[in-house]
A and B are shown apart, each in its own frame.
Chain A
Amino acid sequence: MSGQALLIRGGRVIDPRNGIDAVRDVLLRDGAVAEVGERLSDASARVIDAAGRWVVPGLIDVHVHLREPGEEGKETVLTGSRAAVAGGFTAVVAMPNTRPPNDSPQVTELVLARARAANLCRVYPAGAISKGLAGEELSEMGELRAAGCVCFTDDGRPVMSASLMRRALLYARPLGVPVMAHEEDLTLSGHGVVNEGAAAARLGLLPVPRSAEVAMVARDLVLAEEVDGRLHLAHVSCAESIALVREAKRRGVRVTCEATPHHFTLTDEAVDGYRTSAKMNPPLRRAEDVAALRQGLADGTIDCIATDHAPHGPLEKEVEFDKAANGVVGLETAVPLALELVRGGVLTPARAVALLSGGPARAFGLPGGHLGKGAPADVTVIDPQAEWTVDAERFQSKCRNTPFHGRKVQGRVTRTVVGGRAVFEEAQR
């Protein structure tokens, strides 16, 4: 990905890994960061004026459902990539719960081929922990890793067998990539569809107790510690989970975790009126949990903001609440929701950027996440002041299932650069 050099001039460069938060120019050349400094010039470069904008390392979302192969009506690698770059993401990790699931190098290669054809953001496939996501036998993790998988997960469903999870953590160790856990004890969540609490009682919806997540977090921390495995916890949603992770990190357990914008923004009250756009797994929780997530984002217990972008169409969502599919789209609303935490004084700008770029890069061992010389020329330009109203009809994603439709937000991606090439510009909206 080379071509013309790009000079992004006069923006507020926020690069936490390199300790930069100042007005600087960024010069990208030959697919890499050539220099970050003051008054840079390059006669051959295309110049982009970024005055008043944030210029940050390309954002990375480690939890995205692209639905290809198998559910192309909901999303494809191409449409998901369009949504990603419109939302400022230069790289995404694609979950393996496709049809067929990504439990073989053939599926990994197919996803990578589609990503090359789309030629927008970087797409890193996640491989399945178990064959067919059935939770019984380990997938061919070595083959999957060799084909390009950057982590292993049965996301969408938990690994109920503690023994299988233990073997996965152990077997994946020399492969150098994390095992990503969707934490849910199915015997506790049962037929539940919303958080156990006031909203469930009022609406007469069957509850999911918080222990369904917390007990599994505790189990997997014990397993990771015992075998020195590398564990990543997907979409943590409960205060008790955060406390367990904080304590485990203190002991030196090799664990990272992510929080989604919907879990750190909304409570279970959002399901009022049986709004299926607010139905997801894990469910939205209490105000205390939202507060704990925000604390965890600020203090480093949580490593990444990830969207769990999960497109579903009207056939899955305009139905009875208990029959509706779980999940929301998130790629195109993550930046303004993260910035709400900055404006609310929860996160510094540098911490917000770290959670969206450096944190995920480090957790998954991915290139990028910073703007040091020689880093991939992946850059996101954000207008932190721009006020706008979320309009799901204008999403690049194929799907509209968001609980944030109509929300007034601030902060908008104005340009996304991948490998030195502008793959999204504001004029495209």
Chain B
Amino acid sequence: MASKLPGLLAIEGMTKAQVEGLLDRAAQLGEPSLEAGGGPRPLEGRVVANLFFEDSTRTRSSFEIAAKRLGAEVLNWTTKGSSVSKGETLLDTVRNIDAMGPQVIVMRHASSGAAALAARHTRAAVVNAGDGTHEHPSQALLDAFTLRRHLGALEGKRVLIVGDILHSRVARSNLRCLTLLGAKVALCGPPTLVPKEMADLGAELSFDLDEAMEGADAVMMLRVQLERQVDAMFPSPREYGRRWGLTRERADRLPEKVKVLHPGPMNRNVEIATQVADGPRSLILEQVHHGVAVRMAILEACA
């Protein structure tokens, strides 16, 4: 198994060996136990608490399946119907869950830094399942896992991430994870959604998708947060789709070997055309599939 981790709050601060250790372990864990149950149950008798302060289907289910496959008991806690609606603070919720003694807390929250805050107030290992606009480390690890399957070693490869970089925890984690593995990361989107400081983190920035696509080994499309239209950062979904969407015509110009990823949930025909999402170069469902093995490796290392 991969070396033990005290928790997983962010890719920032991880070593290349730690990341590779998790990816290699996921590869070992992944295949057989996905075929059928009955594998080893290293987390037998342990409790994994899923604390989801924000809606999620994919990530929560994925962690739940991963925990169960490892033999753990799973507590699924969501804000709906909880004391949070009665005004309980984050720390009080965390302290109460902690008092029940879970070994791992998997947490999703709308505030950047929330998982780190929780980690200071619980004995459980905290796995960040997405904190605000900060990081989503398990997503980046499963993306790297999926990319390695298709591209081999990522050293020297060029990965293009397109969309709302400013508000994207997926982009931040992927930038760090892919850079750590030796890949070059290019970020592209409307100038209002690509902070220039991302260049200091090692990314190449551009605002023209057609130019940015040149030489890419993989293209990752991010979800456009249409619900954030109060602070409209672009004029309309139509214009966004034309300038920064992966339309069928654009995808057709990519060499055949170039793969397309999306962390979901998708706005079909806004950031990605339906034919591309469902087409041969799409790795979208494969990402979801590998997510279970990657999260098994994470939980095993943290429990």
Contact = CB atoms under 8 A, between A and B. Distances in A.
Contact of A201 (B111, B117, B131, B198): B198
Interface stretch (B38-46, B132-140, B151-159, B260-268): B132-140
Nearest to B169: A204
Contacts of A274: 112-113, 116-117
Contacts of B117: 274, 318-321
Given A201-B198, A201-B200, A273 B109 contact: no
Contacts of A319: 89-91, 117
B111 to A, nearest CB: 3
A191 B230 CA distance: 11
Given A204-B135, A204-B172, A274-B117, A323 B111 contact: yes
Given A198-B200, A201-B201, A274-B117, A318 B133 contact: no
Contact of A320 (B109, B172, B198, B231): B109
A200 interface: yes
B195 interface: yes
Interface in A319-369: 319-323
A203 interface: yes
Contact of A204 (B89, B134, B200, B231): B134
B12 interface: yes
A266 interface: no
Contacts of B133: 204-206
Given A274-B112, A320-B114, A200 B201 contact: no
B109 A200 contact: no
Nearest to B231: A190
B112 A201 contact: no
A319 B88 CA distance: 11
A202 interface: yes
Contacts of A206: 133
Contacts of B89: 315, 319
Contacts of B116: 273-274
Contacts of A191: 231
Contacts of B90: 319-320
A273 B114 CA distance: 11
B197 interface: yes
A205 B112 contact: yes
Interface residues of A, number: 22
A201 B197 contact: yes
A207 interface: yes
A200 B12 CA distance: 14
Contacts of A203: 112-113, 134
Contact of B112 (A190, A196, A198, A321): A321
Contacts of B109: 320
A322 B112 contact: yes
Nearest to A187: B231
A197 interface: yes
Contacts of B114: 320
Contacts of A320: 90, 109, 111, 113-114, 117
Contacts of B111: 320-323
Interface string A304-328: 0000000000010011111100000
Contacts of B132: 204-205, 322
Contact of B197 (A200, A318, A321, A323): A200
Interface string B186-227: 000000000101101100000000000000000000000000
A207 B112 contact: no
A203 B201 CA distance: 11
Contacts of A207: 195
B197 A198 contact: yes
Interface string A199-220: 0111111110000000000000
Instruction: From B112, B131, B135, B195, name the one whose CB has the most chain A CB atoms within 10 angstroms.
Output: B112
A315 B201 CA distance: 34
A207 B197 CA distance: 11
Nearest to A275: B113
A364 B173 CA distance: 50
Contact of B201 (A196, A202, A273, A323): A202
A339 to B, nearest CB: 33
A4 to B, nearest CB: 52
Contacts of B195: 196, 200-201, 207
A2 to B, nearest CB: 51
Interface string B73-90: 000000000000000011
Nearest to A194: B112
Contacts of B169: 204
Given A204-B169, A206-B133, A323-B111, 10 more contacts: A204-B132, A204-B134, A204-B135, A207-B195, A274-B113, A318-B91, A319-B91, A319-B117, A320-B114, A321-B113
30 contacts: A196-B195, A198-B200, A200-B195, A200-B197, A201-B195, A201-B197, A201-B198, A203-B112, A203-B113, A204-B112, A204-B131, A204-B132, A204-B135, A205-B112, A205-B113, A205-B132, A273-B116, A274-B116, A318-B91, A319-B117, A320-B90, A320-B109, A320-B113, A320-B114, A320-B117, A321-B111, A321-B113, A322-B111, A322-B112, A322-B132
